[in-house]
Each structure stands twice: as C-alpha cells, then as structure tokens.
Amino acid sequence: MINRFSIIIPTLNEEKNLGICLRSIINQTYRKFEVLIVDGGSKDRTREIAELYGFKVIPVEKTKPHDVSTAKNRGAEVADGDILLFLDADMILEPNCLELLNDYYEKLSIVGIACRIMPFQGNGIENIMYEMNNILARFSNTVGLHELSYFSCHSYRKNSFIKVGGFREDLNACEDLDLSLRIRRFGKYVVTPKITIWTSPRRLRKWSYRKYLQRYVRFLVQYYFSNRIEDYYDDL
C-alpha cells in the first residue's frame, strides 16, 4: 500500500532549527509526502526559510502560550495525505523514516505510531534520559497501561484522527499523549524502537535536568488526575 504523508510542523521563530529539519525531510527515500508549516506569527526568517524549500506556510493566530494544538489541527484541516506526521521544528528524520512508517501503515489495523526519540548531539546524561523514556513508552504501551512517558512526535491515520476530533485545544501540554490514548478506540497504536527521530535537547538544557523531570511529572499528574494541565508549557 502506498500512503501519502502530510508532515505538519508548527513553528514560532524557528529560523535556527527549521532548515536542518526540512533538509532531513527532502532527503527521504520515500517520496510521497507534503510538508505544511503552520506558523504562529514568527518575527524572524522562519516563513522565508520554509518558502525557500518550496513548502506551504499556513498562518495561524496564537491565542495563548504554546498554542500548538490549534496549529496542529489547522494543519490537519488542509492536509491531503493519508497519514499525518507531526514534527517539531527542531527534529531531524533519518533518511528511511517515512519508508519504515509506510511499512507499518500497510497494516490497516494500525491507527497511530510513535517513534524512538533521541537527543541530537546529546551528551551521555541526555542520551540516557531520552532512552529511558523510550523504554518506558514501549513498556507501558505493550502491557496496556496508560502512557507513562511523553514525547511530541507522533503520526496518525488521518481518518482516525478526524473521527476522534483531533487534538484537544483546551490542554496546555500533553496534547499528543491525550490523542494517542483516545485514538486507540479505532485500532492499534504502536510505539516502535525501529524508527529514530532526533531532536534538540534545548528545552532540557534550558530548564535543567531536574526541573525538566519535575515539570513533566507534574504535567502527567495533572493530566491523569484532573484531565487538564494547569501549568503552561512555555515557548522557547
């Protein structure tokens, strides 16, 4: 089965990171894809860079800190692919990423896939932290528990994404986690170690390792116990 991917990237002042992300996309071995840059009002060269690569830029109004769910839903509305892949602007795909994802999506029972996430040019501590989170994500998914980890790179079959109503725009964080749990009503959700996506550890470094862990634990506790996130996930 040949699926078409819609790669949706929310942006806000990402001129320093977007170029390497887009280069990793155009170097994919699998060629059936489109790229949608959903921009929340960048003041730098973000939109210019996207247009230089020939990708469509969709403006969206930013109404609150880290209003990423609105941007992702807006991108999904105009996407024409069978599979929606949501990326952060500082993520880097390995050349066979889309090819491997398509192999998984040949099984119609699969409605969503999360990949292994590792820090780009991370140090030893950062590598361990990310890998432990990957292991925790696979374990919780395998045994059928609620997700106990959190990363922001997921793909979904578009028809299932529409049925479940997309991302919740009332959440200040954990929107991917929430959607990955809800979409399981329509099929199998896979957390795979076979596909690695690299991401900048800049947030981890800005917050400090201890505060990074504390904040994500607080997000998870708030989500599971009150079904909302009180804290804001501040933009970088």
162, pLDDT greater than 70: yes
Query: CA-to-CA distance for 62 and 134, rounded, in angstroms?
Result: 31
Q: Which residue, 82, 231, 212, is CA-closest to 150? A: 212
Confidence of residue 216 (pLDDT cuts 50, 70, 90): confident
Cα–Cα distances (Å) from 139 to 132, 136, 192, 196, in that order, read 10, 5, 11, 17
187-213 average pLDDT score: 92
* Strand 110-119 with 188-199, pairing: parallel
Q: What is the pLDDT of residues 41-80, one digit of tens each?
A: 999 999 999 999 999 999 998 777 678 999 999 999 999 9
Query: pTM to 2 decimals?
Result: 0.95
Which listed CATH number (3.40.50.300, 2.40.40.20, 3.90.550.10, 3.30.2130.10) goes with 5-226?
3.90.550.10
Q: Where are the domains of the chain?
A: 5-226
92, pLDDT greater than 90: yes
117-121 average pLDDT score: 95
24, pLDDT greater than 90: yes
Q: What pLDDT shows up at residue 141?
A: 87
Q: DSSP strand E in 172-227: where?
A: 188-199
Q: For residue 8, give every residue at least 6 positions away whose Cβ sits within 8 Å of its Cβ, in sequence order, or none.
A: 36, 38, 72, 75, 76, 79, 84, 85, 86, 87
